[in-house]
Amino acid sequence: MKGWSGRFLYLDVGRREHKIVSIDHDTLINFIGGRGLAIKLLWDLNPVGVDPFSPDNHLIFAVGPLTAYPLPSSGKMVVASKSPLTYGYGDGNIGTKAAVELRKLGYDAIVIRGRSDRPLVIYVSCEEIQYLDAEDLWGKTSHETEEKLLKLYGKNVGILSIGPAGENLVRFATVVSEFGRSGGRPGMGAVMGSKKIKALVLKGCKDPEPFDRKELMNVGMEAYNAVKNSHGYSFWMRQGTNATIEWSQINSVLPTYNFREGVFDFYAGIDGYMLESMRISQKGCPLCNMPCGHIVRYVTDIAEGRAELDYENIAMLGSNLGIAPLNRVSRLNYLADAYGLDTISLGNVLGFTMEASEKKLIDYKIEWGDYKEAIRLIEDITYRRGIGDLLSHGVRYVSEKIGGEAKDFAMHVKGLEISAYNCHTAEAMALAYGTSPIGAHHKDAFAITIDVREGRLTYQPEKVEKVIWMQNIRGGMFESITTCRFPWVELNIDLNYYPRLLKAATGVDYTWDKIYEIANRIYTLIRSFWIREYIVNGYKWSIEIDMPPARWFKEPMKKGPFAGAKLDVNRFIDMLRYYYKLRGWDENGVPKRETLRRLGLMFVEKDLEKIGVRLS
């Protein structure tokens, strides 16, 4: 079998045992790798309804058949598990040397179950697996941990670690790598913490073997050149994702004051030009020739240091909280990376708290823009002190505890907090959040571009069709092959490079029809996983689960060119129902029997019926 390794490493950290498990060829062809492989393994291995912090919940690190080859931005991996934040499927995508080392170890995935009785660093090389005592690292920040492990093992290893937030089971803790890459928004760092794993250190020894090396090198080089020669390359190198602050402001979608508004009076203090003025260096993931990691030096009246910034981080910790200028936002961002907290969920939790405080719904005082109190709160969340303990569960949980109107401004879908696009006038993006397979995230469909290009406050069926197309390419193909989507998304390189690269890597002819079918299979299996876990955990499954937050339907924006505008609930539901129809799901979003059969998911049919789901 070329292109894939055809096996995964299964670690039981409680028993300190491991085994190497073969993956059959059909599974690899039909799910490709990365997210596709992760959901198939979770479906098969996780006990139905398992608690996310149970030793029986599996934590999966998966790569795909294009990872680690010399082609654009191929140093990426997926980290997946049942989420302690949403109680459904959770994953994230992280750019790291660990992805390359995992491939060089000769595995398509590492799957971890169990719970250690004491903190561990797990070292995996081609020769051995060591379970090392990590008492001395427990409590350290992700930066301190990585520094220490690099000293111990040298530069030629890949490291994935957690900060104190993951140790303390904060439900939006992430896995961190390379001093500022962070993946697994829906609490993958907390799952790692629940297993008492402080870090994984990976050291491979052998390059993966492609089907046609010469062709792979040629197409890879062509694609690298296409990146370098693209129209947007030089501006991308200047601002990376941070250019989106100005774009979002102009288009009235910049999250501001907990998504009340789409414009921020002080946006120029946090935009890409401000970032350029503070930048001291730039870095990227392995094998990437368009590095987007912008490191700034910040100085505030309470601290100074370095931080790696991205659009989402700045918008969620800046405009969404009324905090500017960028020096202050950078401090918050630095703390999130050091503690291993997801910046997007954190920005939502802080924004929600500021609003709840303003409305006197909680016995705690924090005002919009108060970055010093925000820093105190970040620490309290990380160490689960005082109100921080409650907030560590995320906005869905907190709003349900408070009750009443708090639910209207808890900005999440399925428990995952919304990423940085305000959707009062963005129907396609709202649909993308509603139907994202991990809860509200833009990874699967950056549909805001459809709204901006094709008209706001319009609910055409074409928007739904385009959301599905985007999801299939981004969430289906890119999450499974597994490479960074930015060469295509940001610099517009030809999408046809990817089937060509897949053919050279694996020998399999992946036509676009086949890729869409695989994406549909992955989406339908993830959807079935949500249904299975929700029903067994006692939730009632309904269309409500896919609905974006009430704020966008009830409360119009007050500022900017779209002042007075909000979403229309009935027209949104029509879009959602059309979405279900196109996916082959019933009017409540449950996959139909014929869809499961067409996609080769007969095992799902059986499993869902066993727990009482009625399939139409």
Contact between 485 and ligand PTT by CB under 6 A: the answer reads: yes
Taking the complex as a whole, how short is the minimal distance between the CB of residue 94 and ligand SF4, in angstroms?
Answer: 9
Q: Which of 108, 271, 337, 427 binds ligand PTT (CB under 6 A)?
A: 337
Residues contacting 607, CB < 8 A, separation 6+: 43, 48, 528, 532
Query: Binding of ligand SF4 at residue 293 (CB under 6 A)?
Result: yes
Tokens describing residue 425 = 């006038």
Q: Is residue 38 near ligand SF4 by the rule CB under 6 A?
A: no
What distance in Å separates the CA atoms of residue 171 and residue 193, rounded to the nearest whole number? 10
Decide: helix, strand or coil at residue 461: helix
List the structure tokens of 224. Answer: 């690298």
In this structure, are residues 231 and 153 in contact, taking their beta carbons and an 8 Å threshold?
no
284 binds, among ligand SF4, ligand PTT, none (CB under 5 to 8 A by kind): ligand SF4
Give CA–CA dist 385/381, Å, rounded: 7
| Contact characters 95-134, ligand PTT, x per CB under 6 A | x---------------------------------------
From 476-484, 526-534, 546-554, 597-605, span contacting ligand PTT (CB under 6 A)? 476-484
In angstroms, the Cα distances linking 110 to 53, 62, 121, 163 are 18, 7, 15, 21
The interface with ligand SF4 within residues 457-496 (CB under 6 A) comprises 484, 486
CA pair distance 101, 78, nearest whole angstrom: 14
Among 3, 184, 388, 437, binds ligand PTT (CB under 6 A): 184
Residues 163 and 148: their CA atoms lie apart, in Å, by 13
Residue 291 interacts with, from ligand SF4, ligand PTT, none (CB under 5-8 Å by kind): ligand SF4
Residue 154 CA to residue 147 CA, distance in Å, equals 10
Note the Cα 207 to chain centre separation in Å.
27
Point out which span in 133-141, 477-485, 495-503, 534-542 binds ligand PTT (CB under 6 A). Answer: 477-485
Contact 459, 572 (CB under 8 A): yes
Residues 6+ apart with CB under 8 A from 360: none
Give least dist CB 179 to ligand SF4, A: 13
Among 85, 254, 285, 477, binds ligand SF4 (CB under 6 A): 285
Residue 35 to residues 107, 270, 525: CA-CA distances in angstroms?
15, 33, 11
Minimum Å distance from CB 579 to ligand PTT?
21
Site string for ligand SF4, 68-87 (x = CB under 6 A): -----x--------------
Indicate whether 95 belongs to the interface with ligand SF4 (CB under 6 A): yes
Cβ 69 to ligand PTT shortest distance, Å: 15
C-alpha to C-alpha distance for 103 and 72, rounded to whole angstroms: 16
Q: Which does 290 bind (CB under 5 to 8 A by kind): ligand SF4, ligand PTT, none?
A: ligand SF4
With contact defined as beta carbons under 8 Å apart, do 57 and 51 qualify? yes
Interface positions with ligand SF4 (CB under 6 A): 73, 95, 284-285, 288, 290-293, 484, 486
Interface positions with ligand PTT (CB under 6 A): 76, 92-95, 174, 180-185, 241, 285, 308, 310-313, 336-337, 341-344, 443, 478-479, 484-486
